[in-house]
Every structure is written in structure tokens, then in C-alpha cells.
Amino acid sequence: MNKQPVEPPATRWQLPSPDLADEAGLVGVGADLEPGTLLAAYRNGLFPMPFRKRDIGWWSPDPRGILPLDGLIVSRSLRASQRRFEIRNDTAFTEVMRRCGDPARPHGWINDEFIAAYTALHELGWAHSIETWLDDELVGGLYGIRIGGLFAGESKFHTVTDASKVAVVATVEWMRSTGGTLFDVQWRTDHLATLGVVEIGRDEYLQRVAEAIEK
């Protein structure tokens, strides 16, 4: 996770401004998932998700969910759970994505196209997985994009209680130790709120992204 990332060729697309987002946060549809396109999107406060199954949608929700690094909530039970697991980084990136995209999970959207695209970013040093292992078995984890001080969390999974939460805690600890400043989680949910996730407006988020990626 400490290797210097490789800058890919620039995107050939002119990505739309986040200010064009509709009420759902959809900014535009189209383009591609080439490494240069993905990095340009994250640097401009956008992220991709499938739109109507076949197209690529680019999103900038307002408000935006973030986890303040000084606002992480670790309950007593979660602290006890931490001692059960081993944390590994970037040893099973593609497998973490496949687990996150399990079709049996509600609202699963991570398809083979996205797995291939983010695996390419991982190989260039931009995408990372934080994994939770128990008895040498992968039981939880998350993945996302790191650009300077920004970590844009994409998805997480668990097959054992607290395994994904432990991965979130490990991600915060990694960011604190490496100069991270902004942990983006896209949307606040009741589940994420128990860990300290809050909402901020789009304008504030875009300002924080600009500051974070300069680090």
C-alpha cells in the first residue's frame, strides 16, 4: 500500500461538473472505466455506478457521507471484536470486490466490468483493499481509491459479525498514519452512522477533495 502509484494516460472524456447533478445525485451517463477516467472522476468529486444495468452513471450526491478521522466511534464490543481478526492490506483485492458484488447481496451492483476496471487501478497502485481475516479465511473487508489524502471507500462486506466494521477501523488507522484527511463513504446510512459517519454539503465536500488530493 506504500508503493508510488503510476499515473495512467489521461481520460479522453470531458467529465461533467458535479453542479449538474439531479436530485438523486446523478451527474451524467456514459464515458468509460479506463484508469485515467476513473482518477479524473474521483479528483472532481464523482464516482461511477451502473445506470439502468448497461450504462455507466456518474454520481455526486448532496449531501455526501464522510467519516471524520477524529470522529470514529469504536464501541466496547467492537474493540473486543478487533482482537479476533487479522488485518491484511492488498493481498486479496479482486476477491474483496467479488465478495462485495455477490449477486445474493441486496442492491448488488459490482459487475465484471467494474471488477476489471478497479483491479487495473489496483495494479497501478491507486485502488486498495483492507481485509479482515479469521483463521486464515477472508471474512470481511472493503476497497476504495486513495489519491493523496483522499480515500474514497466504494463497498464493504462481511461473513462474520463485525468483520467489515473492523476493516473500517483499520482504514481510519491507516489513513491517520499516512497523512490521510478525507474518508469518503458516498452516502450516510444508519449502519455507518454507528461508526461516526456524518453528512456534509456538496460544496464543502468538493473543497475538501481539492485539498486532500494535493497531499
CA–CA gap between residue 122 and residue 5 (Å, rounded) = 9
Confidence of residue 41 (pLDDT cuts 50, 70, 90): very high
What is the DSSP track for 30-88?
A: -----HHHHHHHHHTT-EEEEETTTEEEEE--SSEEE--TT-----HHHHHHHTT-EEE
- Every domain of the chain with CATH number 3.40.630.70 lies at 64-212
| pLDDT at residue 80 tops 70 | yes
| pLDDT at residue 2 tops 90 | no
pLDDT at res. 106: 65
pLDDT at res. 185: 97
Helix (H, G, I), strand (E, B) or coil at 115: helix
64-212 fold: Aminopeptidase (3.40.630)
Mean pLDDT of 196-207: 98
DSSP state of 17: P
Rg of the chain (C-alpha set): 16
Confidence of residue 107 (pLDDT cuts 50, 70, 90): low
What percentage of residues in the chain have a pLDDT greater than 70? Answer: 99
List the single range of 13-22, 48-57, 75-84, 190-199 with lowest mean pLDDT: 48-57
Tell me the CA end-to-end span of the chain in Å, nearest whole number: 16
Helix (H, G, I), strand (E, B) or coil at 129: strand
**Mean residue pLDDT across the chain:** 95
Where does residue 26 rank: exposed (0-12), middle (13-18), buried (19+ CB within 10 A)? middle
Mean pLDDT of 111-117: 96
Question: pLDDT per residue over 136-174, tens digit each?
Answer: 999 999 999 999 999 999 999 999 999 999 999 999 999
Question: pLDDT per residue over 81-105, tens digit each?
Answer: 999 999 999 999 999 999 999 877 7
